[in-house]
Every structure is written in C-alpha cells, then in structure tokens.
Amino acid sequence: MVLVRETAAQDWQALRDIRLAALQDAPDAFASTYAQQAAFTEADWQDRISRGGTFLAYVPEVSASEPAGLAGGFLRPERPGTVALISMFVRPQARGRKVGEALIAAVAEWGRARQATTMDLWVTATNSPARLLYERCGFALTGERQPLPSNPAVIEVAMARPL
C-alpha cells in the first residue's frame, strides 16, 4: 500500500532529506545539484512547501516514518492549462511498489483541481526506467529536447499526457 500526501510546514526536514537523497542517488536526473540544495535553509524548504504541489509518498512495509518517494507539480505560466511534474524520485528500496504511479496520480489530481488539462515533464534521454514508468502512466514523447540545466552534457526529452 502506498500513502501519498501533500507536504505541510512540519514536513520540511523530511522533504529536505529525501530531496538530498534523490540528488545523491541520481545526480544527472535533476535540474539542480546536491551542492545547491544542501545549502538551502529551513526558510528555503518552508518556502518550497508553501507554494503547494509537493507530495511525499510512504510505504509502511518499507518505513513508516521515512518517505519512500517525492514528486512536485507547478502550473506553467508560459503554457496555460499545463502542470509540470518535477522532482520525481522513489527510493531504491521502494521501487517496484507503485510509488511512482501514486505520486504521478497525486500531481495529476492537484493539477486538475487547478484547471490544468495537460501534464508534462522532462526526463533524461538515457533514463529508461523512468521513461517506461511515464509511458505506463500515459505520457508520450513530444519531440522537444534540451540540455539538462545541471549538466549540459546530458540531454533531456519532454513527455506529456492529457489530464
């Protein structure tokens, strides 16, 4: 069973810990770096939470207190009606337990509640497990490509799906 909930102010340390774990586990999968976000203060993490759209997933069989996964969403001002899926990460010990699917569903619901009709994301071109997850959840390649902001030698591809 996967439990997903939107973060609240008291979750800032859990959010920090899983985000930093994600950046260490997969440094070439995210637009920011461990060094950048390790320098964040409590106020920075609280600000991220206050904007909404950040979700933590828990798998009680893995750990009742430590989040198993993280995902965020934000509305794209340059693309009205689109919610971006960002910061997607599932701890290695929780993979294969539908955590990714549950997080994607939570961000999709968050976007629909804000009148979004499309969800999009960027994923590194070589991250086959993530791309397969996204395809299973209805995403398709859009044809857009760009260098990863944190490591321009890595290429990202865009994927999108209707909500």
* Of 79, 82, 76, 7, residue with least CA distance to 45: 7
Mean pLDDT across 93-120: 97
- Which residue matches tokens 């999108």? 160
How does pLDDT run across 134-158, given as a tens digit for each residue?
A: 999 999 999 999 999 999 999 999 9
Q: Map residue 108 onto helix, strand or coil.
A: helix
Encoded tokens for 45: 């993490």
Instruction: Please say if the pLDDT value at position 63 is more than 90.
Output: no
Quote the mean pLDDT of the chain. Answer: 96
Distance from C-alpha of 50 to C-alpha of 94, rounded to nearest angstrom:
27
Domains of the chain: 3-162 (3.40.630.30)
Count Cβ atoms below 10 Å from residue 124 Cβ, excluding itself. Answer: 18
How does pLDDT run across 3-32, given as a tens digit for each residue?
A: 999 999 999 999 999 999 999 999 999 999
Instruction: Please say if the pLDDT value at position 64 is more than 90.
Output: no
55 - beta bridge partners? Answer: 6, 71
Query: What's phi and psi for 69, nearest 5 deg?
Result: -160, 165
156 - beta bridge partners? Answer: 124, 146
Encoded tokens for 138: 């209805």
Mean pLDDT across 102-127: 97
Hey, what amino acid is at 37?
A: Q
Residue 62: predicted pLDDT: 86
Count Cβ atoms below 10 Å from residue 105 Cβ, excluding itself. Answer: 16
Distance from C-alpha of 34 to C-alpha of 7, rounded to nearest angstrom:
21
Instruction: Please say if the pLDDT value at position 49 is more than 90.
Output: yes
Percent of the chain topping pLDDT 70: 100
pTM for this model (two decimals):
0.95
Encoded tokens for 36: 């950048």
Count Cβ atoms below 10 Å from residue 125 Cβ, excluding itself. Answer: 13
Distance from C-alpha of 23 to C-alpha of 47, rounded to nearest angstrom:
19
H or E stretch at 85: strand 82-90
Mean pLDDT across 117-139: 97
Instruction: Please say if the pLDDT value at position 65 is more than 90.
Output: no
Residue 31: predicted pLDDT: 92
